Chain A
């Protein structure tokens, strides 16, 4: 009973605080938080595939880019309202992910990582492709307008966009929690931990893996659409190969197979580059690297693991129930194929 209530209350409290922030922070910080929510959704999508199903992907920037471009093209060329672009991005990316899931079936572990990495390298170039240029705007990209708050709500654009993105994020996180905590989530973990055993128990591995790919791509694609609306601009350079690596960093730093970890990871990837830049203009990349290594050394299981460790010993009577929540399985942060 307690174990059921606690995460729910925590989640509610987080949402209340997050909504309150819309009225406390400046527009610029709301923009940053909007990006945090978008990246958190993207990392959650990556986590479903890499964390839960054990399929390493270094190419989720590609799905993020496709989602972003679908939203931008619909808004700029077809005058579709911003909110209506999300389901389209979701469907397109799910289809894209499902299709990519088939060849990925034959590839395991590191080979899959490389194949997805190739995807991340290919997509920015494809976006510049001549035949697509009328839609994608080529290297110039597409500039889109920021939406106003509907129904005459007394909110400015940044407040509204933040709350809208937050609402989408909350819905997606709740859905993910139910899915991953239930039968399908258990099947995904079974496939990750021992494929043969999972198959013996009647799980259709091929179907599960391709569907995980589709679901994962769908989440990341929706995140891309939300990010594009917030940034008001898409261009091939927005989705360079480093984006995929950044999402992967967010996943690992946040903590694999953890819903809260996705949020922490997103906070990390949004704010760390700024912090590194403040320390050194000469080599912000090196500072970033040093912080990352130090962090992984101090918190090998990510933020989520660190939190569990900090909270755990002081409240030992709660440790066991906490680990049974879907957000916090006590598995090592390592994907097996």
Chain B
């Protein structure tokens, strides 16, 4: 008697935890019904990277607005955005839940390089589109090996290409020094510079030097770089180190033209700790409009965004760039779905996602356009440079594009 009850309880616990309703859908268009298309996404709503969860919340809110306005081609967009805590095993579990249990049409804007790497092989084997992943690594454009995976934002490598192009154009005889973080993040940048300088790399670059994430300080590297006689410094460092570097360069009275990765341009986390006046003149690149930049006060795109935020995300911090990013990428997806028409098969979704021509998104800087093709899986490859003037990042010059597609 006792045994039976226990067994039953254990069985019931296992079953109860496991079973969820399963839905039927057309075999050739998974996740699509006459009135709805179901989409999946994983986001770090909890855990160490939970600040990025704003991105996912903006996307869900955006499609709520789209649905309130009648949906896309008569279908509501149901974005199921779930938490993976920035933990790759959890991403695998959640992605399988969305693909196998919920039967989503595709995965959209999953966030994080390690997390998305964990499911890339799985999604490509299942031929489920992995659209517009939210990571800056360059490897998401590998259409030959992973034809079902496409990136979104300008990769670190593209960003470095743009700085190198600018140097070549404005100061062809520059002597460049580079400091980079010794991991895939830093090496993407180094590769970008190499792409542009090519044979001239040895001549242009006086010294490149790396640091480890575990290093307590980068002071020594900066002194070595100064001794190389360089007049231009490229800083490919994460925020903590970027702040150290900017300050050290100023303190040893070295005044090169400085380029700083846009990963590390946050005023609170980098510029203030380094010293607001010590950072004056530093150049970086961006592609999104900044809601704190007064230049956009009368911009229709920005006004629409504020209206959207007020209505669909009341109380959210409108200076947080992640909401702008989420809105822009959701808008790009909406364009793809419109372009799909009534054929929402996974093949056609992938075909349309890799067939975007000069798409303008109101929250991208004017002139920056989304472009993809079957051999270009990097939708955004342009930046506009900006310079720190002691108060804000002031944009200047024209839009610069990375190396050929």
Contacts and interface: CB of A to CB of B under 8 A. Distances in A.
Interface of A: 6, 9-10, 13-14, 17-18, 21, 25-29, 31-33, 35, 125, 128-130, 138-141, 143, 227, 231-238, 240, 242-243, 260, 264, 267, 270-271, 273-274, 276-277, 281-282, 284-285, 288, 307, 311, 315, 318
B46 A232 contact: no
Q: Say whether chain B's binding surface is mostly helix, strand, loop, or mixed.
A: helix
Given A26-B100, A141-B88, A10 B83 contact: no
A231 B45 contact: no
A112 B60 CA distance: 45
Contact of B214 (A125, A231, A233): A125
Interface stretch (B50-58, B151-159, B321-329, B357-365): B50-58
A26 B101 CA distance: 8
Contacts of A281: 45, 53, 56-57, 60, 81, 83
B182 interface: yes
Contacts of B213: 125, 128
17 contacts: A10-B6, A10-B7, A14-B10, A18-B14, A28-B101, A29-B101, A129-B214, A130-B212, A141-B114, A233-B92, A233-B117, A233-B118, A235-B114, A237-B115, A240-B48, A240-B86, A318-B2
Interface in B95-130: 96-97, 100-101, 112-115, 117-118, 120-122
A193 to B, nearest CB: 28
A289 to B, nearest CB: 10
B117 A140 contact: yes
Given A6-B3, A35-B93, A17 B10 contact: yes
Given A128-B213, A235-B118, A318-B2, A285 B46 contact: yes
Contacts of B19: 29
A238 B87 contact: yes
A13 B18 contact: no
A127 to B, nearest CB: 11
B90 interface: yes
Contacts, number: 151
Nearest to B96: A28
Interface string B9-53: 111011101110010000000000000000000000111101001
A282 B97 CA distance: 20
Nearest to A20: B11
Given A231-B118, A235-B117, A238-B118, 20 more contacts: A9-B3, A13-B3, A17-B7, A28-B101, A29-B19, A32-B18, A139-B183, A141-B118, A143-B118, A237-B88, A238-B87, A238-B88, A240-B47, A242-B47, A242-B85, A274-B93, A281-B57, A284-B46, A285-B47, A285-B50
9 A-B pairs with least C-beta separation? A277-B83, A233-B118, A28-B100, A235-B114, A237-B114, A285-B46, A13-B7, A29-B18, A238-B88
Given A233-B92, A267-B17, A130 B182 contact: yes
Contacts of B47: 240, 242, 285
A138 B183 contact: yes
Contacts of A28: 96-97, 100-101
B47 to A, nearest CB: 7
A21 B19 CA distance: 11
A231 B92 contact: yes
Interface in B113-171: 113-115, 117-118, 120-122
B328 to A, nearest CB: 20
Contacts of B297: none
A130 B184 CA distance: 11
A225 to B, nearest CB: 13
Contacts of B391: none
A284 B45 contact: yes
B249 to A, nearest CB: 25
B202 to A, nearest CB: 24
Contacts of A236: 114
B322 to A, nearest CB: 14
Given A17-B7, A17-B11, A128-B213, A273 B88 contact: no
Contacts of A240: 47-48, 86-87
A318 B90 CA distance: 41
Given A26-B100, A233-B117, A227 B89 contact: yes
A138 B46 contact: no
A17 B11 CA distance: 7
B6 A307 contact: yes
A311 B2 contact: yes
Interface in B309-367: none
Contact of A231 (B3, B81, B88, B112): B88
A271 B87 contact: no
A291 B46 CA distance: 15
Interface centre among A231, A237, A281, A282, by most chain B C-beta atoms within 10 angstroms, is A237
Interface centre among A31, A231, A318, by most chain B C-beta atoms within 10 angstroms, is A231
A273 B96 contact: no
Contacts of B9: 307
Contacts of A18: 14
Given A125-B213, A237-B114, A27 B18 contact: no
Nearest to A233: B118
B5 interface: yes
Contacts of B120: 143
Contacts of A143: 117-118, 120-121
B266 interface: no
B184 A138 contact: yes
Contacts of B56: 281
Nearest to A280: B45
Contact of A273 (B86, B90, B182): B90
A140 B45 contact: no
A288 B101 contact: no
Contact of A6 (B2, B5, B57, B212): B2
A273 B117 contact: no
A311 B48 contact: no
Contacts of B81: 281
A307 B2 CA distance: 11
A284 B44 CA distance: 10
